[in-house]
Amino acid sequence: MSQPPDGYPAAVDPIATELDAVVLVGGKGTRLRPLTLSAPKPMLPTAGVPFLTHLFSRIRAAGITHVVLGTSYQAEVFVDYFGDGSAFGLDLEYVVEDEPLDTGGAIRNVADRLRGSHAMVFNGDILSGVDLRAVYDTHLGAEADVTLHLVKVDDARAFGCVPTDAGGRVTAFLEKSEQPPTDQINAGCYVFRRSVIDSIPAGRRVSVERETFPGLLEAGARVQGYVDSAYWLDLGTPAAFVRGSADLVRGQAPSAALPGPQGESLVEPSARVAEDAVLEAGSTVGARCAVDSGARLTGAVLFDDVHVGAGAVIERSVLGFGAAVGAGSVVRDAVLGDSAVLGSGCELLAGARVWPGVRVPDGGIRFSTDV
């Protein structure tokens, strides 16, 4: 992976003594397999650096310096890359779940590492442009027990909905519905009073949406919503992952961690790209990659050590570490796993995924299913 970028902004209006950050990164990222077989989802290269690096840049810019990572799957990968956080201007601690605890249980599991009177909690796979300081200010101004970032979406049917009253107070937590009563959904960012975290049952699975938050409403607690229409994307699928990386490269999603200028492409300095190759729509080319003559990359994500042959076309796809695509092949809306090889003259289409180490022979073969 690329090394941590320089140029993080200085912390703004520090609030470290009263507010911790908790980032939940324990999931296995099954929807992104086979990419997540070798690395946890938050550590996959996204616009040139592990995705978590972008989130850390925004946490630090908001003035928060103490961050606790709730880890489980391949926990050592986070420690090896981020260490104590000092290279990122942060004070990082790690808590490992021995068994899955769900969101509420994971938050409770880090309680003994918290230092402030409030904690801002993040799902570690959400790319968002929300103003973190504004979320916290809303929490304090409402004297809330918990504040949720709620984002408006065009189609809320695939999500649980969170309605609020005229004062922004949350009134219910609703399951998925074909006719949702509101366009507001839980955006995966919360501010908790420390006392609320301490009240969550310890040592078992706890869902915040099905247990913690409804229980607070029933008890008359103040659950506040911070509603906006800022950039928001769940990076849980290959299509969303590609889109998020491209949006970061083009500056449509905010980050101070981009290891290069915004534009149509981002190329690691050690990569070799032929002069007549076309890189567009926010494509990323990782370290030591080779992109040969006449190749075209459109919204593509190339991890490190990838080879793209002459005249190949890569569109809205991810090529894992050490993967290779032969001359004249087409990869469209697909995933090529680590060290997988797609021969010359092949087509990989429509959600197909090639598993790590698989070699697909030459010969104009078309694949639209997993290989």
Judgement on whether residues 122 and 161 belong to the same structural domain of the protein:
yes
Q: 257 lies in a domain?
A: no
Q: 73 lies in a domain?
A: yes
Tally of domains within the chain: 2
Q: Are 21 and 118 a contacting pair, CB within 8 Å?
A: no
The mean-pLDDT minimum among 199-203, 297-301, 304-308 falls in 199-203
CATH of residue 274's domain is 2.160.10.10
Of 206, 239, 272, which residue is a domain's last?
239
Which domain covers residue 172, as residue numbers? 19-239
Q: 5 lies in a domain?
A: no
Judgement on whether residues 208 and 273 belong to the same structural domain of the protein:
no
**Strands 232-234 and 126-128: what pairing?**
antiparallel
Q: 108 lies in a domain?
A: yes
Q: What does pTM read for this prediction?
A: 0.89
pLDDT digits (tens, 9 = 90+) for 205-262: 999 888 999 999 999 999 999 999 889 998 989 999 999 999 999 999 988 888 888 8
Judgement on whether residues 209 and 354 belong to the same structural domain of the protein:
no
pLDDT digits (tens, 9 = 90+) for 2-36: 444 454 444 445 465 689 999 998 777 788 889 88
Judgement on whether residues 193 and 296 belong to the same structural domain of the protein:
no
At 11 the pLDDT is: 44
At 371 the pLDDT is: 61
Q: What are phi and psi of 307, to 5 degrees?
A: -120, 125
At 258 the pLDDT is: 87
Q: Are 308 and 273 a contacting pair, CB within 8 Å?
A: no
pLDDT > 70: percent of the chain: 92
> Which DSSP letter does residue 12 get?
S
Q: 303 lies in a domain?
A: yes
CATH of residue 49's domain is 3.90.550.10
